[in-house]
Amino acid sequence: MKKFMFILLLLNMLIYSCSKNSVTPVTKAETSVDWIAAADSSSLSLVDNFWNGTGKYFNSVNNGVADFQYWPNGHALDVLIDAYTRTNKSSYLSTINNWYDGVKVKNGNTFLNEFYDDMEWNALAMIRAFNATGDEKFKTASADVWTDIKSGWNTQGNGGIAWRKSQLYSKNACSNGPACILAARFFQQFKINEDKEWALKIYNWEKEYLFNTSNGAVYDNLNATTGEIQKSWIFTYNQGTFLGSALELYKITGEKGYLNDAVKATDYTLNNLVNSNDQLLKDEGTGDGALFKGVFVRYFTQLILLPDLADGTRTRYVNFLKYNAEMLWLKGTNKNQVLFGKYWGIKPGSEIQLGEQLSGAMLMEAAATLSNKKLIQ
């Protein structure tokens, strides 16, 4: 009998061990996470592993190769601003100012670019940098870029901001959502009515052509030459900027329809753009795709913080973000260097891309924000 009980005990231990190593959804942290400390270490790791001190920009890989990409550097500036406004550390302020010089030079001594969406990411980050630092150079640069972005609007496809200057027929969610957010924020800050009009017409165009009002999906693009809408490409970052633009217009107008659109786009993401095995935001690949989840998280967090959001909806959203953050920090982080991979449930190796680190850092900064607001523990 004792031998049988011993064998049964061994079998139970084996089953328990296997279940612990399988990928299963969790509803609470295995251990308590200090989200402020996690954000501190992740944002410091971004600088330590990717900042090019000579060129004054963020490298595309953490292996020391001086490779530059314009659009991820805008999101890297966003993370610097997150960390600076949260900690008030002068080291972040110094890097923010150096970023301005280095990225401008590396981009051809200008912040203007062939790609409208690339300019939008950087303009959004720079207007935040102006608000965080009070330095007029960021305001001026962001306004100059916004002026150039408006040239992307044309009559092909009945309107919309083009994706790039050499393809005015390609009207993409990634070039219209951020442009609407930028216009809306310029209006809210500087009270120029033309900016409000731009925000409204960009939003209305994207909603008509790229937003599925039935289920909340945001389609990737409209080819104005053929009339084809690319409905098979639905990415988290397009969901994020659409909900972000709806949120900004709700703040301006108070019209509930915009808030309903934001919630619908968010719910589509949480219900459809997740891994079915563990409900984490899905793996969208390396390169550009690795940054997509971080963009969604940024605007998702702003929706969570909206006072007018229904309490039940806020609780559901907080739980989703907290769960993703817990899984990333407890299961998907290379703690030796505090590195994040493209999928938040799997630890990366020692070499990763900038987009991967940025998405993880944005999630950690979001968790720290919600922790400071007493929304998560």
pLDDT on residue 31: 63
Assigned token pair, 199: 């925000």
- β-partners of residue 229 are 222
pLDDT on residue 13: 31
pLDDT on residue 377: 84
pLDDT on residue 27: 42
pLDDT on residue 140: 98
Q: What angle do CA 309, 311, 314 make, to 5 degrees?
A: 65
- Whether this prediction's pTM lies above 0.75 is answered by yes
CA distance 184 to 246: 10
Assigned token pair, 3: 């031998």
Average confidence (pLDDT) per 10 residues, the chain, 377 residues: 33 31 38 93 98 98 95 98 98 98 98 98 98 98 98 98 98 98 98 98 98 98 98 98 98 98 98 96 96 98 98 98 98 97 96 98 98 95
